[in-house]
Amino acid sequence: MSSSPANAPSAAGHLRWSICGLLFFSVAVNYIHRLTIGILKDPLSQSLGWSESDYGNIAAAFSFAYAFGYLLGGRMLDRWGVKRGLPIFVFLWSLAATAHGLCGLLDPAQQIEFRYPWFSLTQGGLVWGTFAAPLTVLGFIGARIALGLTQGGNFPGAIKTVAEWFPVRERALATGWFNTGSNVGAVICPLVVQWMYGRWGWQTTFYVTGLLGFVWVAVWLWLYESPARHPRLSPAELAAIREDQPAQEEPKVSVPWLTLLRHRAVWAYVLASIFAGPAWGFYQFFLPDFLKKAFQLNLSGTAVWTSVFFFLAAAGGVTGGWFAGKLLARGWSVNSARKTALLACALAVVPVCLAPFAGSPLLAVIIVGLAGSAHQGWSANLFSVVSDTMPRHAISSVVGLGGFMAYFTGGFVNGITGQILQKTGSYVPVFLYFSGMYLLSLLLIQVLVPRIGRPAAQPA
């Protein structure tokens, strides 16, 4: 371990933060591509004749595809490396985002019907079901599946890049910074997409937003190289990056899934992803509806308060990462710093159960914004726990596995949320559920990984 002062890495250079900036923009573009269809839901439904169930099928297709994309993307990035793998994923998902516009060439009046076999307990055997949908719906389902499968590589690749480019005490901060790209993308997407739609229509809007990803790929290919080979990286900054990393790069090794599941740290990350991970999807898909129904807001008011939420949440990832880094700079162990930061975030989420009882949208957004901010800080530190505890060649695979579980579980959580709303019309049980999931997750982390350290992947 280097005895350099706390400010030595900053004095050594800033190229690693330029790499972090590239990750920030990849996440922002990711969210713009992901959320554009939601902003255009009403005009698309009106012009293409979609029903609510049609749109629901399109949304479901993305959710489940993204879960598998997260799982497979992490695995592939560990094999390819981020220099080659990450731009491949961004290029492919940009093609998928652009392909949404091509669906305008399909005939909106044409219906497609499929018959499929399934086993029915009530009818005592194999029966045939029928699925009918407009051709444009099937086109968008295909585009959303392609988008979900390819976007899943973004976060595993970003976490792997941070592990290569940042010393341990800066990883949570760097993760927090690039993760704010999700908030920035979510904030600017409604404004930019509505502006483009009003001037060019929905097809061109998809084409232009898709172009952003191709621009990012060009910049990445021009700027990125691994730290050991980067011509613009100074020896001083390289030394700062490696101050608590192995002196030599680890060989690329394919790690079998069963081998990963032998490690306690993997189970800790997966279980935390299952219990706390779905909260972010809940905020994305249900917060506008909660605000609209709770305070009788119009579309404009709902959009403004939703944007305020994302602004508040953006600060959490940076603050959570900064807090852990500050503790490490003061001499705290990695174990104490990470878990203290996770505890602070988990406690900040607890008051979210009071959001349904807030007397004004401002108070409700402050309460939920604190929880969203804490979630981002939690994510920054939880991602860093993976890079703290796993060999570098397995990081993306582990992040991908946790992301798969979070989004796959989130699909069911969102479905149950819809059933709760249909039966009770109340968000109280859902907010109450999420208010305690982070503390439960931290308890599981403590039980499975009593001490975070390197090498810290303890076999179970």
Task: Of 337-351, 401-415, 432-446, give the lowest mean pLDDT range.
Answer: 401-415
More confident residue, 26 or 316: 26
**CATH C-level class of 10-104+141-245:** mainly alpha
Task: Of 54-63, 87-96, 303-312, 342-351, give the lowest mean pLDDT range.
Answer: 54-63
Specify the pTM.
Answer: 0.70
Task: Note the pLDDT tens digit of each residue in 332-348.
Answer: 888 888 899 999 999 99
What count of Cα atoms within 13 Å lies in the side-chain half-sphere of residue 148?
A: 23
Residue 329 has pLDDT above 80, yes or no: yes
Domain coordinates of the chain in residue numbers?
A: 10-104+141-245, 253-460
The answer to whether 228 and 249 have CB atoms below 8 angstroms apart is yes
What is the rounded average pLDDT for all residues in the chain? Answer: 82
- Could you tell me the pLDDT band of residue 122, with boundaries at 50, 70 and 90? low
pLDDT > 70 fraction of the chain, expressed in percent and rounded: 86
The answer to whether 212 and 29 have CB atoms below 8 angstroms apart is yes
Max avg pLDDT among 160-164, 172-176, 261-265, 306-310: 160-164
Residue 6 has pLDDT above 60, yes or no: no
| Secondary structure in 3-state letters for 362-423 | HHHHHHHHHHHHHHHHHHHHHHHHHHHHCCHHHHHHHHHHHHHHHHHHHHHHHHHHHHHHHH
pLDDT at 455: 45
pLDDT at 255: 63
Q: Which stretch of DSSP H or E encloses residue 125?
A: strand 125-134
Residue 10 has pLDDT above 60, yes or no: no
pLDDT at 2: 36
Mean pLDDT of 101-110: 86
What's the CA gap between 260 and 313, in Å, rounded? 32
* Superfamily designation of domain 253-460: MFS general substrate transporter like domains (1.20.1250.20)
Task: Of 52-61, 63-72, 86-95, give the lowest mean pLDDT range.
Answer: 52-61
- Alpha helix positions (H), 330-360: 334-349
Residue 459 has pLDDT above 50, yes or no: no
Q: How many CB atoms lie within 10 A of CB 189?
A: 22
Mean pLDDT of 148-171: 86
pLDDT at 125: 62
The answer to whether 431 and 352 have CB atoms below 8 angstroms apart is yes
Residue 252 has pLDDT above 60, yes or no: no
The answer to whether 204 and 101 have CB atoms below 8 angstroms apart is yes
Q: How many CB atoms lie within 10 A of CB 55?
A: 18
pLDDT at 11: 46
- Which residues are paired to 115 by β-bridges? 130
Residue 456 has pLDDT above 60, yes or no: no
Residue 330 has pLDDT above 50, yes or no: yes
